[in-house]
Amino acid sequence: MNNKDSFDLPSLNEARKRIGDIPYVDFNLDDDCRNLGKGKTYFIKTHGCQANQRDSETMAGILDSIGFRANDSEKGADVIIINTCAVRQGAEDKVYGEIGALKRLKRENPDIIIAIAGCMAQEEKTIREISAKYPQVDLVFGTHNITNLPKLLNNIYHERKRLIEVFSNMGEIVENVPVTRFAKHKAWVNIMYGCDKFCTYCIVPYTRGKERSRLMEDVLAEIKVLKEEGYKEVCLLGQNVNAYGNDLKLGYSFGDLLEEAARIGIERIRFVTSHPWNFDDRMIEAMRDNPNIMPYLHLPLQSGNTEILRRMNRRYSAEEYLELFKKLKETLPHYAFTTDIIVGFPNESDEAFEDTLKMVDYCQYDNAYTFIYSPREGTPAAKMEDNVPMAVKEERLQRLNEKITFYANKANQKFKDQIVEVLVDGISKRNGQAYSGYTPENKLVNFTGNDVKVGEIVKVRITEAKSFSLDGVMVE
């Protein structure tokens, strides 16, 4: 393949700009792409969040619709796509390791196509790096042009030349895109794309563009079809679901969408992620009044110190978070709460970190995802001095994790000897003789039983409560 690249670099600076109205269009396939994948296979490796998982299902759906078949691994696949995450340096390093490892496959079969997609593709530095050091990569496409995949592949098959197509700004919302969902009983449903919050540490508002909501009728229609197809659970996806509808100015909000979605009658509805900012009463009421909205809320804290929160541009103080948390606990006493916390943000003093620990002591989360701050080039925080030494960051993370584990264990003990409802995912990862699935509170349960079927909701008696999972026996 010819490695003389010609492309426009994506620009994080351009991606900052929130440009005009977004048109809604239907997916359209060029005639000359219809049989592109006949006799060929693909493999998609997915990193990162649920938005990426869902994007991979779209890529799979598009490839299936043009004749490709899925392959179990990289080996033997004609098209390999790595759907990347840019949220922390560790995630990026992993991807470079994978691209490196693919060099051998490419040498053995130069006809395979190696593609890089997702959030890393939206960064200028990734394109520069791949262009300079990774000739084995044939295609780079971003988060805004997934639906161009057939055209891009067609182009490569004809031109035999490396192709890089990444848009800094989003073009349109494409509906009726083919999708191959990876599970048959629970489904991701995008309700909005992008993020306008601009937390100073976060790359996402640059890699996924401005907040764009799907029309409520399109979201509800998708949920109805899923219910008819036998799906038991939908998870509504957005970087910040609370902001759903704001951009549309059609007079409806996330609370309205929750109500309408609940009315469809699918067994389980979940959603991620909620920002503590603009969390309105309508939403809380919908959560309180609809039993098929699962009693589980992920409410990212990030820091328990008001000054650090201000420097993170989180738009709430520690007191405001606490106030919201108390209100939610009072209104939704049966809910499980989880959170995200970053340690070692620039200027985080011992006292500021202690504030985070105090907050955890107060909130006693069911679980938390905890991270060491990772500067992301192009974000405002990357310009702040990264002045907490790594050894201190690591020690803080360890202390925090000990606390999180303590409260996770405490929360799980409540389930000991209780009978819980579990939506069965399949064979347990830990024990080939057991099954696993999740309770309404999003607790992982490993259990034994006879004639257990994936996708059914079964009753399980909890025999042992561990910090991050429950063990049990099916009772019917």
Which chain residues interact with ligand 5AD by CB under 6 A? 87-88, 201-202, 300, 302, 340, 342, 371, 373-374, 376
Quick one: 367 or 428, whose CB is closer to ligand 5AD? Answer: 367
Least Cβ distance, residue 119 to ligand SF4 (angstroms): 3
Least Cβ distance, residue 16 to ligand 5AD (angstroms): 16
When CB distances to ligand 5AD are compared, the closest residue is: 340
Picked from ligand SF4, ligand 5AD, none, the partner binding residue 52 (CB below 5 to 8 A depending on kind) is: ligand SF4
Quick one: 150 or 300, whose CB is closer to ligand 5AD? Answer: 300
Least Cβ distance, residue 84 to ligand 5AD (angstroms): 15
Taking the chain, what is the end-to-end CA distance rounded to the nearest angstrom? 59
User: What would the two tokens of residue 325 be?
Assistant: 């948390």
**Looking at the DSSP assignment, which residues form a beta bridge with residue 436?**
426, 446
Quick one: 10 or 440, whose CB is closer to ligand SF4? Answer: 10
When CB distances to ligand SF4 are compared, the closest residue is: 48
Quick one: 203 or 216, whose CB is closer to ligand SF4? Answer: 203
Quick one: 15 or 460, whose CB is closer to ligand SF4? Answer: 15
Picked from ligand SF4, ligand 5AD, none, the partner binding residue 376 (CB below 5 to 8 A depending on kind) is: ligand 5AD
Picked from ligand 5AD, ligand SF4, none, the partner binding residue 119 (CB below 5 to 8 A depending on kind) is: ligand SF4
**Looking at the DSSP assignment, which residues form a beta bridge with residue 342?**
371
User: What would the two tokens of residue 472 be?
Assistant: 């049990």
Quick one: 194 or 440, whose CB is closer to ligand SF4? Answer: 194
Backbone angles phi, psi at 371, to 5 degrees: -140, 150
The residues binding ligand SF4 (CB under 6 A) are 48-49, 51-52, 85-87, 118-119, 203-204, 207-208
Picked from ligand 5AD, ligand SF4, none, the partner binding residue 86 (CB below 5 to 8 A depending on kind) is: ligand SF4
Least Cβ distance, residue 331 to ligand SF4 (angstroms): 29
Picked from ligand SF4, ligand 5AD, none, the partner binding residue 276 (CB below 5 to 8 A depending on kind) is: none
Least Cβ distance, residue 229 to ligand SF4 (angstroms): 26
Picked from ligand 5AD, ligand SF4, none, the partner binding residue 181 (CB below 5 to 8 A depending on kind) is: none
Give the Cα separation of 253 and 262 in Å (integer). Answer: 14
Picked from ligand SF4, ligand 5AD, none, the partner binding residue 51 (CB below 5 to 8 A depending on kind) is: ligand SF4
Quick one: 214 or 298, whose CB is closer to ligand 5AD? Answer: 298
Picked from ligand SF4, ligand 5AD, none, the partner binding residue 207 (CB below 5 to 8 A depending on kind) is: ligand SF4
- Secondary structure of the chain in the HEC alphabet? CECCCCCCCCCHHHHHCCCCCCCEEECCCCHHHCCCCCCCEEEEEECCCHHHHHHHHHHHHHHHHCCCEECCCCCCCCEEEEEECCCCHHHHHHHHHHHHHHHHHHHHCCCCEEEEEEHHHHCHHHHHHHHHHCCCCCEEECCCCHHHHHHHHHHHHHHCECEEECCCCCCCEEECCCCCCCCCCEEEEECEECCCCCCCCCCHHHHCCCCEECCHHHHHHHHHHHHHCCCCEEEEECCCHHHCCCCCCCCCCHHHHHHHHHHCCCCEEEEECCCCCCCCHHHHHHHHHCCCECCEEECCCECCCHHHHHHCCCCCCHHHHHHHHHHHHHHCCCCEEEEEEEECCCCCCHHHHHHHHHHHHHHCCCEEEEEECCCCCCCHHHHCCCCCCHHHHHHHHHHHHHHHHHHHHHHHHCCCCCEEEEEEEEECCCCCCCEEEECCCCCEEEEECCCCCCCCEEEEEEEEECCCCEEEEECC
Least Cβ distance, residue 243 to ligand 5AD (angstroms): 15
Least Cβ distance, residue 206 to ligand 5AD (angstroms): 11
Least Cβ distance, residue 298 to ligand 5AD (angstroms): 9
Least Cβ distance, residue 370 to ligand SF4 (angstroms): 15
Picked from ligand SF4, ligand 5AD, none, the partner binding residue 472 (CB below 5 to 8 A depending on kind) is: none
Give the Cα separation of 113 and 110 in Å (integer). Answer: 8
Quick one: 40 or 54, whose CB is closer to ligand SF4? Answer: 54
Quick one: 37 or 300, whose CB is closer to ligand SF4? Answer: 300
Least Cβ distance, residue 366 to ligand 5AD (angstroms): 16
